[in-house]
A = this chain, B = another copy of it.
Amino acid sequence: MTETIRLAHGSGGEMTSRLIKEIFYAAFGGDVRDANDSAVLELPRGRTAFTTDSYVISPMFFPGGDIGKLAFCGTVNDLASVGARPIALAASFIIEEGTTFEDLRRIAGSIGEVSRATGIPVVTGDTKVVDKGSGDKVFITTSGVGSIPDDIDYHPRNIRPGDAIIVTGSIGDHGYCITALREGIDIKSAVTSDCAPLHGLVEALWPFGAHIRAARDATRGGVGMVLNEWAMQSSRGILIHEERLPVKDEVAGGTALLGLEPIYLANEGKMLIAVSPEKAAEVLDCIRAHPAGADAALIGNTGDDKPRVVLETAWGTQRLVPVPRGEILPRIC
């Protein structure tokens, strides 16, 4: 018989302890004898980045990853977005009664795998169980702390006129992959979710110091949403060039068919970087030299003091890229 999660696994008693030991400690490492209510860390001196995100993606498993890998990488990337080196993560699970141990083990295994690959430990966590119909299999909330070097300050408020906007690779892969999966579209080629940790790529940019103005992983709402937030937060217009946007052929074709725009599709392994014009070319080379940034492109520049995003097409016409409205794609992350 398939072993499944029961309400008793969330009661805080013997079955909760066993679940934590057999699934989570087994995957992440750690010892139940050391468990305490909080992890105790020795953080490097200086500023600390602190972030949290919940993951509710449906389906939980997809080409290129699953909700566990997504949750881990998402929090790593949120730390990297402020220039931090991730130090430790926390993972809290809300599990629906009836979820199989097999699914849970697979998800925990993915987290363990990326944790070992990156050397970033999961140091604390929590498990709650909700009755059938009050959840949807597994929701994960990851939080993280990271250490920011003294000379690093990435924030959209630092963006100045003429700054270059770089995207670290092809856009829309994650959003297209999940949509295609839901719509039953046969993904023939290599388009999988781009779900990946980007802290190494950002660390490679540390030597550029204040020339890097801002960084942001373009998840929900895509590149379109981040650029609008940056325009608003910096009180600057941003002009991007359509033909410079790196979009895989299959994503371009598939999204056209589905009536979606790659610029609004979620990415889970792509960063937007705002950089001073003097260092733009050098930074682009540096990103391209990194395994996670081979397809990076300089897509545009900041301009006048009208906080809006404008896209110039290959024919030279311009159109506004508004803040996305409406549903876009529910439960994409």
Interface residues of A (CB under 8 A from B): 6-8, 10-17, 33-43, 45, 47-56, 58, 77-79, 81-82, 84, 88, 90-94, 123-131, 133-136, 139, 141, 143-146, 148, 154-157, 216-217, 219-221, 225, 229, 232-233, 264, 266, 323-331, 333
A225 adjacent to B54 (CB under 8 Å): no
Contacts of A225 in B (CB 8 A): 12-13
B155 adjacent to A94 (CB under 8 Å): no
Assess A38 versus B78: contact at CB under 8 Å? Given A90-B51, A92-B54, A125-B52. yes
User: What's the least CB distance linking A315 to chain B, in Å?
Assistant: 27
Q: Can you tell how many copies of this chain the complex includes?
A: 2
B13 adjacent to A145 (CB under 8 Å): no
A330 adjacent to B7 (CB under 8 Å): yes
CA distance A39 to B78 in the complex (A): 10
Contacts of A55 in B (CB 8 A): 128
User: What's the least CB distance linking A176 to chain B, in Å?
Assistant: 16
What is the interface of chain A mostly: helix, strand, loop, or mixed? mixed
Contacts of A84 in B (CB 8 A): 38
Chain B residue at smallest Cβ distance from A33: B233
Contacts of A326 in B (CB 8 A): 8, 11, 13, 15
A-B contact pairs, 15 of them (CB 8 A): A7-B330, A8-B326, A11-B221, A12-B219, A12-B225, A13-B323, A14-B323, A15-B326, A16-B220, A33-B157, A34-B157, A54-B128, A55-B128, A92-B141, A94-B139
B126 adjacent to A52 (CB under 8 Å): yes
A54 adjacent to B14 (CB under 8 Å): no
Name A10's contact: one of B81, B127, B141, B330 (CB within 8 Å): B330
Closest A-B pairs by Cβ, 6 of them: A12-B220, A12-B221, A13-B324, A141-B141, A143-B143, A134-B136
Contacts of A37 in B (CB 8 A): 51, 77-79, 81-82, 216-217
Contacts of A136 in B (CB 8 A): 130, 134-135
Chain B residue at smallest Cβ distance from A134: B136
Chain B residue at smallest Cβ distance from A144: B38
Contacts of A39 in B (CB 8 A): 49-51
Assess A56 versus B330: contact at CB under 8 Å? Given A48-B48, A82-B37, A156-B36. no
B327 adjacent to A7 (CB under 8 Å): yes
User: What's the least CB distance linking A7 to chain B, in Å?
Assistant: 4
| Known contacts A17-B323, A54-B128, then 14 further A-B pairs from the complex at CB < 8 Å, ordered by chain A residue | A10-B331, A12-B266, A13-B325, A35-B233, A37-B51, A37-B82, A37-B216, A40-B82, A41-B47, A41-B49, A41-B50, A52-B126, A94-B141, A133-B133
Contacts of A81 in B (CB 8 A): 36-38
Name A131's contact: one of B154, B221, B330 (CB within 8 Å): B330
B40 adjacent to A43 (CB under 8 Å): no
CA distance A264 to B125 in the complex (A): 22
A145 adjacent to B145 (CB under 8 Å): yes
